[in-house]
Structure 1
Amino acid sequence: MSQELVFNLLAALSIGFLGSSHCLVMCGGIASALQLSMPQLTFLQQLKLQLMLSLGRLTTYSFLGALTGAFGAAVLVKLGISLFWLKLLAGVLLLLMALYVARLWFALTLLEKLGALVWRQIQPIAKSLLPLDSSAKAVAYGLSWGFLPCGLVYSSLGWSLASGSALQGAVLMFAFGMGTLPAMLAVGRFAQSLSRFKNKQWVRVSAALLLALYALYTIAIAIAPRVF
């Protein structure tokens, strides 16, 4: 495993964690509602179903990452679109993510509106799986949940587009998904405390600055070979 890939995986994990305050807004209600839709099970049984949900969601993220990675590596290159433009696009999307987390500019909501068109087709399938009374249903619901329109996910997919391969794209999105796990598994009182903490201005600004720095680093990597 190359040093660059290791760095990118750590960055993807951090981006998932730092940006997961948005996940608590977008998906936290769903996670809590899903827990309530589970039969009267023990804590460990509910935790198992929550983990199965996350397994399904991360599987979809990885699949989408592989798809965009393969598209970037094969189709776009064959069309004559160089990796320079893909990396530049990834950097710009990460910068938009930073502005989104900082609540300075919500351009990523446009991507969410486009994704809503897909979600409308998948949502009825997801609803048919309720109540979540088995691991199979939980995994299937998680697979559907992975398509929920989210600007944070879409901007990360833009990063996978420039990863150079289907495998790296999948691994990057899996790492991103792992970063969101603490927020998504936190329900009830702990979720409320975590949400309040992540919504503090200094936390949001710090997260946005780190995301912006990585975005600028990505853009610099894209531009450097053309400048030096």
Structure 2
Amino acid sequence: MNSDLIAALAIGFIGSSHCLVMCGGIVAALQLAMPGANVKRKLWLQLLLSLGRLTTYSFFGAVVGYFGASAMQLAGGSLLWLRLLAGCLLIAIALYISRLWFGLLKLEQLGQGIWRYIQPLTKHCLPLDSAKKAYLYGLCWGWLPCGLVYSALSWSLVSGGASSGALVMFAFGIGTLPAILLSGLAAQKLTQIKNNLMVRYITSFLLASYGVYTIWLAAKRIFI
């Protein structure tokens, strides 16, 4: 479980360059939606926004983790088959992070239908002039379609239960925080580091290696 949490954290951190593309405009717009707030107040509201987002991610992880464990019990099967799938998806994430394959972007289309119903609710939270509105907006923000989020959910699927599934997605969300919370030169510097090809390739290699290791362990127990 600890290795799964580390993998989820790494996916969130390295893959958060994608978050800056997906959510950077939202973050900038939300800054303008905080009327009269000083820097300290804006940081507090941003933290509440992210807390709402992580709450939604954790909810997804709990539901998927519970479903994965229950489905396997009902089928009389083993989580090893789901872990085999998770290993394959981790390799796909590694290929995405290394910018060798962008197939994960197709997963975002799956959430577009639901997002059409969630997005109008965000209008009721603007302007972000209270902690409650910031947190509620963050809850909605977590529903924004993201292939990286959907891929990370595969680890919740094989986590073995609701609580462990929620922890995996919470760790993933924590990994995305630096890119979302930092702004200006700090965010640019962080992005430059993560966009360095050597950093991406090393991280991708480590994630892919863990994916292969996961597949090997699952296949060994299934077929041997």
The alignment's TM-score, normalised by the length of structure 2, stands at 0.94
Are 1:151 and 2:147 counterparts?
yes
1:161 paired to 2:157: yes
Aligned equivalent of 1:45 = 41
Alignment of 1:83 onto 2:79: yes
- Kept after mapping to 2: 8 A contact 1:129/1:137: yes
Alignment RMSD: 1.5
Residues 125-178 of structure 1 deviation map (CA, whole Å, 9 limit, x = unaligned): 113312111110110011011111111111110111011101100011111111
Identify the residue that residue 70 of structure 2 maps to in structure 1.
Answer: 74
Following TM superposition, by how much is the alpha carbon of 1:224 offset from its aligned partner in structure 2, in angstroms? 2.3
Matched to 1:74, the amino acid is: S
Contact 1:13 1:179 in 2 (8 A): yes
Matched, 1:9 2:5: yes
Percentage of pairs with the same residue:
58
Contact 2:60–2:153 (CA under 8 A) maintained in structure 1: yes
Paired AA for residue 146 in structure 2: C
Query: Residue 26 of structure 2: SS of its match in structure 1?
Result: helix
How far residue 76 of structure 1 moved from its aligned partner, in angstroms, is 4.0
Task: Describe the superposition over 1:20-72 as per-residue Cα deviations: whole angstroms up to 9, x where unpaired.
Answer: 12111111221122112211211111110000001100100100000000000
Aligned amino acid, residue 88 of structure 1: L
Question: Are residues 1:211 and 2:211 paired?
Answer: no
Match of 2:89 among 63, 86, 93: 93
Which of 24, 27, 33 is residue 29 of structure 2 equivalent to? 33
Distance in 1, matches of 2:22 and 2:146, equals 8
Moved over 4 A (4+): none
Describe how 1:95-114 pairs up with structure 2 within 5 A: 95-114=91-110
Amino acid at match of 1:194: L
In structure 2, how many angstroms separate the alpha carbons of the residues matched to 1:40 and 1:197? 33
Counterparts of 1:131 and 1:76, CA distance in 2: 45
Find 1:64's aligned residue among 43, 46, 60.
60
Letter in 1 for 2:203: A
Tell me the distance in 2 between the aligned counterparts of 1:143 and 1:214: 31
Q: 1:95-137 CA distances to partner (integer Å, 9 max, x unpaired)? A: 1111111111111112101112211111111133121111101
TM-score, L = length of structure 1: 0.92
Count of matched residue pairs? 224
Distance across 1 between alignment mates of 2:139 and 2:159: 23
8 Å CA contact 2:4–2:155 kept in 1: the answer is no
Do the aligned partners of 2:55 and 2:139 also contact (CA within 8 Å) in 1? yes
> 1:163 is aligned with what amino acid?
S
